[in-house]
Amino acid sequence: MNVSHLALEDNHTITQRILDEVRDILLESLTADLITELVDRDMDAMEQATQHLLRLVGGRLMATLVEVSVLRHVGPPPNCAQCNRPMRLVDRRRERKMHGLVGDFAYSRPYFHCRACGDGLAPDDERFGVGALSYTPALSRVAAAQAVDVPFERAARKLSETLGADFCEADVYRAVESLGAVAETEIQAEMATPAAPPPAPDGDTLVMGMDGTTSHIEGAWHEVKVGVVGTLGPETKRDPTTDRELFAVKNPMYCAAANTEADAFMPRFLWLARQAGQGHPALRRVVFINDGGPWIWTRASQLDQEGVERIEILDYFHVTEHVWRVAGAFFGPQSLDAHAWVRPVLENLLDHGPEPLLQALNALRPRTKDQKDELRKATGYFSDHREHMRYPQYMDMKLPIASGIVEATCRSVVCQRTKGAGMRWSRMGAQAVLNLRCFYLSSHDRWRNFFDHRPLRNAPRVALIRRDAQDAA
Ligand SMILES: [Zn+2]
């Protein structure tokens, strides 16, 4: 359709024109011959033909809406973002092709150029919230929602299956890479200078933890650190293993960083905690639950907030593993004597806290070097964590004593997506996927908030990041 005159028409006329055009497309495509052919075929053929038709209609509708919008927003030449000089109109109608969620289409818009620094700009693209990608924002979002779950090649196949058109792995990868890079820029900016005060937490208690796992990044296995923060209670649930009542975790939120040192990870974790309400005056208590990783415990105090109680809990199952290792060294692994020693030690730990355990260790008399080493390690570990093993108190307070939420975070955020057979990542590629996956798994709001402010607009203009993440399988 020639839309140039539509810019001046009223909305009613435009609507009528668009409806006319849809009718024309249907009349053009849905010929008597096609209908004759389809009615003799099965429902799959009918539906695929209908989907194809709807994509044609969708693409034409998008093209019309976009072109009318372009014509209605003619403005003066913009100033160059690099050098701030006025830019020159070089093309009144530069064409751009898009792959969209509802169909493919092309549109034309004015294109400006900066003579001084060579920069080019189409202000309408900025207004539409599109970046350099060939995917529309809606298609990028849907592609990303697939690719946070499955390898890029499979995400492309799922898109093709669902939308009834061809989508390729490279384009899906580019969409994720760009969006993930924008997410990283936003996270870094928020880490440095929070834009707003922390939101009110969903309850008065937050539960949080950190851990590390690995992924194959830039040619070797590197640590990926994860963090999780959720609200604890006031709803309770029954723990199936201990049959006791404890507070349920609500609205967990996640963050992850590929190949990062502990000190570099902490600002990201603090940023996450802040998103969940850390720093808000309504917060009363922070429960920090973890396994024994020393880098985690030494940094817990960074979460301190005035008037907020911080309770640190050592994962009970890591404790039992250590107790069993000592028993194995002294009484033989899995021996009856080992069982006889371990059972009361663990029962006392749950009923009376860490002191009976430390006394039981104290009463052991090592005879071999192996026993001496195990005892020294265990005594050191349990003495360091004495104040993190007040299990009777935690259970009275209905707090969790196992770090299941943290371990589940490692698995669900990192391992399930980045550790498939043959997966190799660049650091930026891994970080891009991890950022989006964290948003996606955190909550629908987190994901929607990110996409609501048109992230593609800020995506790198050209693919800055080399495509060297490959995921097979
Ligand atoms: Zn310039």
d(CA 115, ligand 1 centre) in Å: 7
d(CA 117, ligand 1 centre) in Å: 4
Give Cα separations from 348 to 354, 358, 375, 451 (angstroms): 8, 11, 19, 51
Residue corresponding to tokens 């009223």: 10
d(CA 383, ligand 1 centre) in Å: 63
Ramachandran assignment for 16, one of left (phi > 0), alpha (psi -120 to 50 degrees), beta (any other): alpha
d(CA 112, ligand 1 centre) in Å: 11
Give Cα separations from 4 to 7, 58, 66, 380 (angstroms): 6, 20, 12, 79
In terms of Cα–Cα distance, which of 444, 445, 420, 418 is closest to 432? Answer: 418
d(CA 113, ligand 1 centre) in Å: 8
d(CA 184, ligand 1 centre) in Å: 26
d(CA 121, ligand 1 centre) in Å: 10
Q: How many residues does the chain have?
A: 473
Question: Across the beta sheet with 220-238, what order do the strands follow?
Answer: 245-258, 220-238, 205-217, 285-290, 309-314
Domain boundary among 100, 128, 156: 128
3-class SS letters over 244-307: CEEEEEEEEEEEEEECCCHHHHHHHHHHHHHHCCCCCCCCCEEEEEECCCHHHHCCHHHHCCCC
Q: Is residue 191 part of a domain?
A: no
d(CA 425, ligand 1 centre) in Å: 35
d(CA 92, ligand 1 centre) in Å: 19
d(CA 119, ligand 1 centre) in Å: 6
Q: Is residue 49 part of a domain?
A: yes
* Number of helical (H) and strand (E) elements in the chain, helices listed first: 18, 8
d(CA 456, ligand 1 centre) in Å: 22
d(CA 91, ligand 1 centre) in Å: 17
Q: Is residue 92 part of a domain?
A: yes
Q: What pLDDT is stored for residue 457 in this prediction?
A: 76
Query: DSSP letters along 184-213, please?
Result: HHHHHHHHHS-SSPPPPPSSSEEEEEEEEE
Q: Are 292 and 318 in contact (CB under 8 A)?
A: yes
Count Cβ neighbours within 10 Å for each residue of 324-345 and write b for 16 or more, e otherwise. bebbbbbbeeeeeebeebbeeb
Report DSSP state, residue 100.
Answer: -
Give Cα separations from 470 to 120, 295, 424 (angstroms): 32, 31, 5
Structure tokens at 339: 């069982």
d(CA 178, ligand 1 centre) in Å: 24
- Helix axis angle for 336-352 and 354-362, nearest 10°, is 140
d(CA 467, ligand 1 centre) in Å: 29
Q: What pLDDT is stored for residue 462 in this prediction?
A: 39
Q: Is residue 84 part of a domain?
A: yes
Q: Is residue 158 part of a domain?
A: no
d(CA 348, ligand 1 centre) in Å: 73
d(CA 80, ligand 1 centre) in Å: 5
Q: Is residue 79 part of a domain?
A: yes
Q: What pLDDT is stored for residue 468 in this prediction?
A: 37
Q: What pLDDT is stored for residue 471 in this prediction?
A: 41
d(CA 78, ligand 1 centre) in Å: 11
Q: Is residue 157 part of a domain?
A: no
Domain boundary among 333, 366, 388: 388
d(CA 114, ligand 1 centre) in Å: 5
In terms of Cα–Cα distance, which of 58, 66, 49 is closest to 101? Answer: 58
Q: What pLDDT is stored for residue 473 in this prediction?
A: 32
Q: Are 66 and 107 in contact (CB under 8 A)?
A: yes
Using alpha carbons only, what angle is made at residue 446 by residues 169 and 197, rounded to the nearest 5 degrees? 140
d(CA 120, ligand 1 centre) in Å: 9
Residue 158: CB partners within 8 Å, gap ≥ 6?
A: 146, 150
d(CA 19, ligand 1 centre) in Å: 42
Structure tokens at 153: 């090649």
Helices (H), 335-426: 336-352, 354-362, 369-384, 391-396, 404-409, 416-418
d(CA 128, ligand 1 centre) in Å: 22
d(CA 77, ligand 1 centre) in Å: 12
d(CA 116, ligand 1 centre) in Å: 5
d(CA 118, ligand 1 centre) in Å: 6
CA dist., res. 297 & res. 146, Å (int): 36
Residue-number span of the structural domain to which 24 is assigned: 4-128
d(CA 110, ligand 1 centre) in Å: 17
Q: Are 141 and 456 in contact (CB under 8 A)?
A: no
Q: Which residues of the chain have pLDDT under 50?
A: 461-473
In terms of Cα–Cα distance, which of 101, 167, 178 is closest to 435? Answer: 178
d(CA 90, ligand 1 centre) in Å: 14
CA dist., res. 418 & res. 434, Å (int): 8
CA dist., res. 247 & res. 397, Å (int): 9
Q: Is residue 106 part of a domain?
A: yes
Q: Are 143 and 172 in contact (CB under 8 A)?
A: yes
d(CA 85, ligand 1 centre) in Å: 6
d(CA 79, ligand 1 centre) in Å: 8
Domain boundary among 365, 388, 411: 388
Q: Are 400 and 313 in contact (CB under 8 A)?
A: yes
d(CA 86, ligand 1 centre) in Å: 8
Structurally, how many domains does the chain consist of? 2
